[in-house]
Structure 1
Amino acid sequence: MLPVLQPAQLGRELAACTILGAAVGVVRAFFPVRGRGAFVPDALLTGAVLFGVQSYAAALSSAGVLRWYMVLAAFAAALCTAAVLGIPVRWAGRCLAWVLGAPVRLARQWVLRPLAVRHAARRAARKERRNAKRTAKNPKKNLPNQRRVLYNSNVSK
Protein backbone atom coordinates (compact mmCIF):
# COMPACT_ATOMS: atom_id res chain seq x y z
CA MET A 1 0.00 0.00 0.00
CA LEU A 2 1.19 3.47 -0.88
CA PRO A 3 2.04 5.88 1.93
CA VAL A 4 -0.34 8.76 2.55
CA LEU A 5 1.25 12.15 2.04
CA GLN A 6 0.94 15.12 4.32
CA PRO A 7 -0.62 18.25 2.78
CA ALA A 8 2.76 20.04 2.77
CA GLN A 9 4.40 17.17 0.88
CA LEU A 10 1.47 17.05 -1.54
CA GLY A 11 1.78 20.80 -2.17
CA ARG A 12 5.54 20.51 -2.81
CA GLU A 13 4.97 17.69 -5.29
CA LEU A 14 2.22 19.62 -7.10
CA ALA A 15 4.44 22.69 -7.29
CA ALA A 16 7.37 20.68 -8.63
CA CYS A 17 5.23 18.97 -11.29
CA THR A 18 3.68 22.31 -12.23
CA ILE A 19 7.15 23.81 -12.73
CA LEU A 20 8.23 20.81 -14.82
CA GLY A 21 5.14 21.13 -16.99
CA ALA A 22 5.57 24.88 -17.37
CA ALA A 23 9.18 24.38 -18.50
CA VAL A 24 8.03 21.99 -21.23
CA GLY A 25 5.19 24.37 -22.14
CA VAL A 26 7.67 27.23 -22.67
CA VAL A 27 9.48 25.15 -25.29
CA ARG A 28 6.17 24.11 -26.88
CA ALA A 29 5.13 27.77 -27.31
CA PHE A 30 7.70 28.21 -30.11
CA PHE A 31 6.10 25.59 -32.39
CA PRO A 32 2.90 25.67 -34.50
CA VAL A 33 -0.43 25.26 -32.73
CA ARG A 34 -2.60 23.86 -35.53
CA GLY A 35 -2.25 21.81 -38.65
CA ARG A 36 0.20 19.14 -39.65
CA GLY A 37 3.10 21.00 -38.13
CA ALA A 38 1.62 20.67 -34.64
CA PHE A 39 1.52 16.87 -34.47
CA VAL A 40 5.20 16.26 -33.76
CA PRO A 41 5.53 19.05 -31.15
CA ASP A 42 2.41 17.76 -29.39
CA ALA A 43 3.77 14.22 -29.32
CA LEU A 44 7.10 15.48 -28.02
CA LEU A 45 5.31 17.59 -25.41
CA THR A 46 3.42 14.56 -24.16
CA GLY A 47 6.57 12.47 -24.02
CA ALA A 48 8.60 15.18 -22.33
CA VAL A 49 5.95 15.84 -19.68
CA LEU A 50 5.53 12.16 -18.89
CA PHE A 51 9.29 11.58 -18.85
CA GLY A 52 9.91 14.58 -16.59
CA VAL A 53 7.14 13.71 -14.15
CA GLN A 54 8.16 10.04 -14.01
CA SER A 55 11.78 11.02 -13.38
CA TYR A 56 10.73 13.40 -10.64
CA ALA A 57 8.48 10.78 -9.07
CA ALA A 58 11.19 8.14 -9.07
CA ALA A 59 13.97 10.36 -7.78
CA LEU A 60 12.59 13.15 -5.62
CA SER A 61 8.98 12.43 -4.76
CA SER A 62 8.08 11.78 -1.15
CA ALA A 63 6.12 8.67 -2.09
CA GLY A 64 8.51 7.56 -4.82
CA VAL A 65 5.65 6.72 -7.20
CA LEU A 66 3.95 8.55 -10.02
CA ARG A 67 0.48 9.69 -9.00
CA TRP A 68 -2.41 10.97 -11.05
CA TYR A 69 -2.36 14.49 -9.65
CA MET A 70 1.30 14.88 -10.66
CA VAL A 71 0.51 14.11 -14.28
CA LEU A 72 -2.58 16.33 -14.21
CA ALA A 73 -0.67 19.28 -12.74
CA ALA A 74 2.19 18.90 -15.22
CA PHE A 75 -0.06 18.67 -18.28
CA ALA A 76 -2.25 21.57 -17.14
CA ALA A 77 0.81 23.76 -16.57
CA ALA A 78 2.39 22.76 -19.89
CA LEU A 79 -0.73 23.46 -21.94
CA CYS A 80 -1.54 26.72 -20.16
CA THR A 81 2.03 27.98 -20.46
CA ALA A 82 2.20 27.06 -24.14
CA ALA A 83 -1.12 28.81 -24.82
CA VAL A 84 -0.27 31.96 -22.87
CA LEU A 85 3.32 32.33 -24.12
CA GLY A 86 2.38 31.28 -27.63
CA ILE A 87 0.52 34.54 -28.26
CA PRO A 88 3.50 36.91 -27.88
CA VAL A 89 5.90 34.39 -29.43
CA ARG A 90 3.75 34.08 -32.58
CA TRP A 91 3.34 37.87 -32.67
CA ALA A 92 7.12 38.30 -32.43
CA GLY A 93 7.57 35.70 -35.16
CA ARG A 94 5.18 37.56 -37.46
CA CYS A 95 6.99 40.84 -36.75
CA LEU A 96 10.35 39.22 -37.46
CA ALA A 97 9.03 37.73 -40.70
CA TRP A 98 7.68 41.14 -41.72
CA VAL A 99 11.02 42.83 -41.00
CA LEU A 100 13.03 40.15 -42.78
CA GLY A 101 10.59 40.15 -45.71
CA ALA A 102 10.89 43.92 -46.24
CA PRO A 103 13.86 43.66 -48.65
CA VAL A 104 11.94 41.14 -50.75
CA ARG A 105 8.86 43.36 -50.85
CA LEU A 106 10.93 46.41 -51.76
CA ALA A 107 12.77 44.51 -54.48
CA ARG A 108 9.48 43.30 -55.90
CA GLN A 109 7.98 46.80 -55.84
CA TRP A 110 10.96 48.86 -57.04
CA VAL A 111 12.83 46.41 -59.27
CA LEU A 112 10.70 43.53 -60.52
CA ARG A 113 7.45 45.39 -61.19
CA PRO A 114 9.09 48.13 -63.33
CA LEU A 115 11.00 45.46 -65.23
CA ALA A 116 7.76 43.59 -65.92
CA VAL A 117 6.05 46.80 -67.09
CA ARG A 118 8.95 47.62 -69.44
CA HIS A 119 8.98 44.06 -70.76
CA ALA A 120 5.24 44.22 -71.49
CA ALA A 121 5.67 47.56 -73.27
CA ARG A 122 8.53 46.18 -75.39
CA ARG A 123 6.46 43.12 -76.25
CA ALA A 124 3.51 45.27 -77.30
CA ALA A 125 5.78 47.51 -79.41
CA ARG A 126 7.37 44.45 -81.04
CA LYS A 127 3.92 43.09 -81.86
CA GLU A 128 2.86 46.44 -83.34
CA ARG A 129 6.01 46.58 -85.50
CA ARG A 130 5.44 43.01 -86.67
CA ASN A 131 1.81 43.74 -87.55
CA ALA A 132 2.79 46.95 -89.35
CA LYS A 133 5.42 45.05 -91.34
CA ARG A 134 2.90 42.38 -92.32
CA THR A 135 0.33 44.89 -93.56
CA ALA A 136 3.02 46.90 -95.40
CA LYS A 137 4.10 43.80 -97.35
CA ASN A 138 0.58 43.19 -98.72
CA PRO A 139 -0.65 46.52 -100.15
CA LYS A 140 -3.75 45.17 -101.88
CA LYS A 141 -6.92 44.81 -99.93
CA ASN A 142 -7.96 41.39 -98.87
CA LEU A 143 -11.59 41.40 -99.85
CA PRO A 144 -13.61 38.19 -100.02
CA ASN A 145 -14.15 36.68 -103.47
CA GLN A 146 -17.56 37.12 -105.03
CA ARG A 147 -19.05 33.68 -105.28
CA ARG A 148 -21.70 32.89 -107.82
CA VAL A 149 -25.09 32.30 -106.37
CA LEU A 150 -26.21 28.85 -107.25
CA TYR A 151 -29.79 28.14 -108.12
CA ASN A 152 -31.33 25.61 -105.82
CA SER A 153 -34.03 23.67 -107.59
CA ASN A 154 -35.34 22.09 -104.41
CA VAL A 155 -36.72 25.32 -103.14
CA SER A 156 -40.39 25.69 -103.90
CA LYS A 157 -41.76 28.92 -105.18
Structure 2
Amino acid sequence: MAVYATEGLIEVLIEFAEDREPQEANVPIAATPAGELEGVDGHLSGLDPETPVLTHFYLPDAAGSVNAVFGMDLGTPSGGAQARFVSHPTGPQAVTKTDDLAGIMLVAVPPWETETVAAFDRSGNRLNLVQLDAEPPVETID
Protein backbone atom coordinates (compact mmCIF):
# COMPACT_ATOMS: atom_id res chain seq x y z
CA MET A 1 0.00 0.00 0.00
CA ALA A 2 1.21 3.51 -0.78
CA VAL A 3 0.73 6.68 1.25
CA TYR A 4 0.77 9.94 -0.69
CA ALA A 5 1.90 13.27 0.77
CA THR A 6 2.87 16.61 -0.71
CA GLU A 7 6.56 17.50 -0.70
CA GLY A 8 5.71 20.81 0.98
CA LEU A 9 3.98 19.08 3.88
CA ILE A 10 6.92 16.73 4.45
CA GLU A 11 9.38 19.64 4.42
CA VAL A 12 7.34 21.62 6.98
CA LEU A 13 6.99 18.59 9.25
CA ILE A 14 10.76 17.99 9.13
CA GLU A 15 11.39 21.63 10.09
CA PHE A 16 8.90 21.31 12.95
CA ALA A 17 10.61 18.14 14.22
CA GLU A 18 14.02 19.80 14.08
CA ASP A 19 12.72 22.84 16.00
CA ARG A 20 11.18 20.61 18.70
CA GLU A 21 14.31 18.53 19.26
CA PRO A 22 15.14 17.12 21.81
CA GLN A 23 11.38 16.78 22.42
CA GLU A 24 9.25 14.65 20.15
CA ALA A 25 6.87 16.21 17.64
CA ASN A 26 3.29 14.93 17.51
CA VAL A 27 1.13 16.49 14.81
CA PRO A 28 -2.27 15.50 13.34
CA ILE A 29 -2.41 15.50 9.52
CA ALA A 30 -5.38 15.76 7.17
CA ALA A 31 -5.74 14.69 3.55
CA THR A 32 -7.16 16.23 0.39
CA PRO A 33 -8.52 14.13 -2.51
CA ALA A 34 -5.96 13.95 -5.35
CA GLY A 35 -8.46 15.45 -7.79
CA GLU A 36 -8.49 18.72 -5.84
CA LEU A 37 -4.73 19.29 -5.92
CA GLU A 38 -3.05 21.89 -8.13
CA GLY A 39 0.31 21.93 -9.88
CA VAL A 40 0.59 18.19 -9.72
CA ASP A 41 3.47 16.25 -11.15
CA GLY A 42 3.37 13.19 -13.38
CA HIS A 43 3.12 10.77 -10.43
CA LEU A 44 -0.46 11.91 -9.83
CA SER A 45 -1.73 11.20 -13.34
CA GLY A 46 -2.42 7.54 -12.56
CA LEU A 47 -4.16 8.18 -9.23
CA ASP A 48 -7.88 7.98 -8.73
CA PRO A 49 -9.18 11.53 -8.07
CA GLU A 50 -10.54 10.32 -4.70
CA THR A 51 -7.15 9.02 -3.49
CA PRO A 52 -6.28 10.81 -0.23
CA VAL A 53 -3.08 12.85 -0.32
CA LEU A 54 -1.71 14.15 2.99
CA THR A 55 -1.63 17.93 2.64
CA HIS A 56 -2.40 19.77 5.91
CA PHE A 57 -1.09 19.68 9.45
CA TYR A 58 -2.59 21.12 12.62
CA LEU A 59 -0.39 22.61 15.28
CA PRO A 60 -0.63 20.51 18.43
CA ASP A 61 -1.08 23.56 20.67
CA ALA A 62 -3.90 25.11 18.63
CA ALA A 63 -6.96 25.92 20.73
CA GLY A 64 -5.26 24.53 23.84
CA SER A 65 -6.99 27.01 26.17
CA VAL A 66 -10.45 26.11 24.94
CA ASN A 67 -9.65 22.42 25.25
CA ALA A 68 -8.34 22.89 28.79
CA VAL A 69 -11.39 24.84 29.95
CA PHE A 70 -14.22 23.24 28.00
CA GLY A 71 -12.78 19.86 27.00
CA MET A 72 -13.36 20.56 23.31
CA ASP A 73 -10.64 20.00 20.70
CA LEU A 74 -10.91 22.95 18.32
CA GLY A 75 -7.39 22.49 16.99
CA THR A 76 -8.42 19.68 14.65
CA PRO A 77 -11.14 20.35 12.07
CA SER A 78 -14.49 18.58 12.25
CA GLY A 79 -13.46 16.23 9.43
CA GLY A 80 -10.71 14.95 11.69
CA ALA A 81 -7.17 14.00 10.91
CA GLN A 82 -6.52 10.89 8.87
CA ALA A 83 -2.86 10.58 9.85
CA ARG A 84 -0.31 11.61 12.45
CA PHE A 85 3.30 12.74 12.25
CA VAL A 86 5.67 11.90 15.09
CA SER A 87 9.39 12.41 15.46
CA HIS A 88 11.75 10.22 17.44
CA PRO A 89 14.89 12.29 18.09
CA THR A 90 16.71 9.26 19.51
CA GLY A 91 15.01 6.63 17.32
CA PRO A 92 13.65 4.22 16.39
CA GLN A 93 12.19 4.82 12.93
CA ALA A 94 9.12 2.81 13.81
CA VAL A 95 5.75 3.15 15.52
CA THR A 96 6.20 2.78 19.27
CA LYS A 97 3.82 1.92 22.09
CA THR A 98 4.03 5.49 23.41
CA ASP A 99 3.00 7.16 20.11
CA ASP A 100 -0.49 8.59 19.66
CA LEU A 101 -1.84 6.39 16.91
CA ALA A 102 -3.74 7.14 13.72
CA GLY A 103 -4.63 5.08 10.66
CA ILE A 104 -1.45 6.28 8.94
CA MET A 105 1.69 7.23 10.85
CA LEU A 106 4.57 9.30 9.48
CA VAL A 107 7.70 8.86 11.60
CA ALA A 108 10.86 10.96 11.29
CA VAL A 109 14.29 10.47 12.82
CA PRO A 110 17.52 12.49 12.57
CA PRO A 111 19.13 13.66 10.45
CA TRP A 112 16.10 15.83 9.74
CA GLU A 113 15.75 15.27 5.99
CA THR A 114 12.83 14.23 3.79
CA GLU A 115 14.52 10.87 3.23
CA THR A 116 14.30 10.08 6.95
CA VAL A 117 10.50 10.16 7.04
CA ALA A 118 8.77 6.80 6.74
CA ALA A 119 5.10 5.78 6.63
CA PHE A 120 3.51 3.03 8.70
CA ASP A 121 0.04 1.71 9.43
CA ARG A 122 -1.18 1.76 13.03
CA SER A 123 0.16 -1.78 13.55
CA GLY A 124 3.67 -0.68 12.65
CA ASN A 125 3.84 -2.20 9.18
CA ARG A 126 5.96 -0.06 6.85
CA LEU A 127 4.17 1.49 3.88
CA ASN A 128 5.52 3.06 0.70
CA LEU A 129 5.63 6.88 1.12
CA VAL A 130 5.24 8.73 -2.20
CA GLN A 131 5.97 12.46 -2.11
CA LEU A 132 4.14 14.52 -4.73
CA ASP A 133 4.97 17.95 -6.11
CA ALA A 134 1.45 19.25 -5.61
CA GLU A 135 -0.41 21.95 -3.70
CA PRO A 136 -3.82 21.84 -2.04
CA PRO A 137 -6.35 24.40 -3.31
CA VAL A 138 -6.19 27.83 -1.71
CA GLU A 139 -8.92 28.13 0.90
CA THR A 140 -10.63 31.42 1.64
CA ILE A 141 -13.22 32.58 4.11
CA ASP A 142 -16.15 34.44 2.56
**What TM bracket, shorter-length normalisation?**
under 0.3
Larger Rg belongs to: 1
TM-score normalised by length of structure 2: 0.22
